[in-house]
Amino acid sequence: MKVLRALISVSDKRGVVELARRLQALGVEIISTGGTARALREGGVRVVDVSEVTGFPEMMDGRVKTLHPVIHGGILALRQKREHMEELERHGIKTIDLVVVNLYPFEETVGRGAGLQEAVENIDIGGPAMIRSAAKNFTDVAVVVDPEDYRWVIEELERTGCLSEDSRRRLAVKAFSHTARYDAVISSYLNRTFGVEEFPEILNLSYRRAGVLRYGENPHQRGVLYVDGTGRGIAGARCLQGKQLSFNNYLDLDAAWELLGEFDEPTAAIMKHGNPCGVASAGDLAEAYGKAHACDPVSAYGGVVGLNREVDGETAERIASTFIEAVVAPGYSREALEALAKKQNMRVVEMRDGSDGLQYRQISGGVLVQDRDSVLLTGELRFVTSRRPSGAELADLLFAWKVAKHVRSNAIVLAREKQAVGIGAGQMSRVDSAEMAIKKAGGRAMGSVMASDGFIPFPDTVERAAAAGVASIIQPGGSIRDSEVIAAAERLGLSLVLTGTRHFRH
């Protein structure tokens, strides 16, 4: 496909003058509009205004300029179809062989908090129409929507005098992806703004590829990171140091940050395979990290550390004293960065804002959508045994309850003095999770409290906890055997607190 005429109209003007100069050197006639035409002329490029081609001026503050049969006929005509070419000749329309268009910056506009009127004016109409026309007619027309593609496109034209069919197909696919994302962002914004449907009938999710990972969960699986464009969450965090973040790093970092969101006081969390293996709160970050690491030092080896304060030098020295894959925090002091730099491969991540809104889980053939679990308790605590927890025990119960919310079900957490001392995760029976947590805690179970993310179905978990020295238990309640479980706690001298709220995590 030889390029004789090109239409260039871009919002993102990176590299467009250089592209146009090199097209002009190849003898390509260039049609352009508004600000793009102005920029090209200032760069020494000869330009034919769209209004000269259509015979109509731009109208309605630029809302109408390229929506014209002369433009779309020149793009959509099938060169091999005699009837199409005869129609072009009859109406005095010339073909357009290359369309270089990118769209009004709608996403950037709403991202900086613009009002509805400004957002609406940044909904591009003519641009998507031209892109779709050119992409539809990829057999005869090339369409370029990404400035990153300018270099290889012009080099292919300079080298061969044309663009191959494979290149045109590749560009067409990218073009339709470009307009699909654009429409998805607009749809999502207007739905949020107008409050039409919290769970819309048609769910449009749009993500942009941000990078190729070394591999997925395992070396034989491919892995890629896509981002939603908000700059929020772990996907939008800055990696200050270390090797490229892996697929599993992202999962653990995300889990750590979600857990840390439960706590106001200085808190450290150590994650391993999606579960916390150590969590603690304290008066300062260094103490919190030390207590978190002491929960399960064996499992902490090679884990991911999350901290909810700017990391100081002392905390960083402690982290650097052992093998940690990655660290995430809202910031780092100069001393902290110097200490962590001793471990060159350790990923050091600076977090911005966390995520909010809905959560998505892919299943075969579909997607499950739910509200983010942002509630700790949905009602008042119920104290159902004659022995009530002391003030210190109640503080530990609420600490353990926050941690259990972020442990894979079935989840059991033992805690003491705002330090997790034993965590049982992901077992098929609750008593097995309790056994695991008690085993991890060892002698530290004596005088601790226990949290269960779901109701305790049988007295056996209470009996096992009492035998290990647990003093108080918090759980949702709601089992048909609640009375038996409460009776067991009463008989064994434990305090039992019911939340009425469940926090399953699959």
pLDDT tens-digit readout, 142-169: 999 999 999 999 999 999 988 999 999 9
- Name the 3-class secondary structure at 314: helix
CB-based contacts of 431, cutoff 8 Å, min separation 6: 458, 460, 461, 464
- Residue 64 above 70 pLDDT? no
Reported as a single tens digit per residue, the pLDDT across 473-487 is: 999 999 999 999 999
Domains observed in the chain: 5-194 (3.40.50.1380), 238-350 (3.40.140.20), 382-498 (3.40.140.20)
- pLDDT number for residue 49: 84
Q: Quote the pTM value.
A: 0.84
Contact 84, 56 (CB under 8 A): no
- Residue 421 above 90 pLDDT? yes
- Residue 445 above 90 pLDDT? yes
Q: Is 136 a catalytic residue?
A: yes
Q: Which two tokens stand for residue 466?
A: 């009492």
**Banded pLDDT at 59 (limits 50, 70, 90):** low
Q: Is 293 a catalytic residue?
A: no
Active-site residue, selected from the candidate residues 13, 94, 136, 243: 136
Which alpha helices (H) appear in 195-278, and where do they start and end?
Answer: 247-260
Residue 103 buriedness (CB in 10 A; 0-12 / 13-18 / 19+): buried
- pLDDT number for residue 190: 85
**Banded pLDDT at 65 (limits 50, 70, 90):** low
- pLDDT number for residue 126: 85
Report the run of H or E that residue 207 belongs to, with start and end.
none
- Residue 204 above 90 pLDDT? no
Reported as a single tens digit per residue, the pLDDT across 454-463 is: 999 999 999 9
**Banded pLDDT at 192 (limits 50, 70, 90):** confident
Q: Mean of the per-residue pLDDT values for the chain?
A: 91
- pLDDT number for residue 401: 97
Share of the chain above pLDDT 70, in %: 97
Own/partner contacts of 127-130, CB < 8 Å, gap of 24 or more, are: 127/9, 127/11, 127/66, 127/101, 127/102, 127/103, 128/103, 128/179, 128/182, 128/183, 129/66, 129/67, 129/72, 130/7, 130/9, 130/66, 130/71, 130/72, 130/75, 130/99, 130/101
- Residue 294 above 90 pLDDT? yes
**Banded pLDDT at 234 (limits 50, 70, 90):** very high
Contact 246, 274 (CB under 8 A): no
Name the amino acid, one letter, at 320: A
Active-site residue, selected from the candidate residues 13, 84, 94, 273: 273
- pLDDT number for residue 56: 66
**Banded pLDDT at 358 (limits 50, 70, 90):** confident
- pLDDT number for residue 431: 95
Give the CA distances from residue 144 to residues 8, 25, 96, 131, 134, in Å, rounded to whole numbers and listed in that order. Answer: 9, 19, 13, 8, 9
Average pLDDT over residues 200-219: 89
Contact 35, 49 (CB under 8 A): no
Reported as a single tens digit per residue, the pLDDT across 72-125 is: 888 988 888 888 888 888 888 898 999 999 988 888 887 778 888 888 888 888
Other CB atoms within 10 A of residue 218 CB: 9
Reported as a single tens digit per residue, the pLDDT across 360-413 is: 999 999 999 998 899 999 999 999 999 999 999 999 999 999 999 999 999 999
- pLDDT number for residue 57: 65
Q: How far apart are CA 1 and CA 5, in angstroms?
A: 12
**Banded pLDDT at 312 (limits 50, 70, 90):** very high
End-to-end alpha-carbon separation of the chain, Å? 53
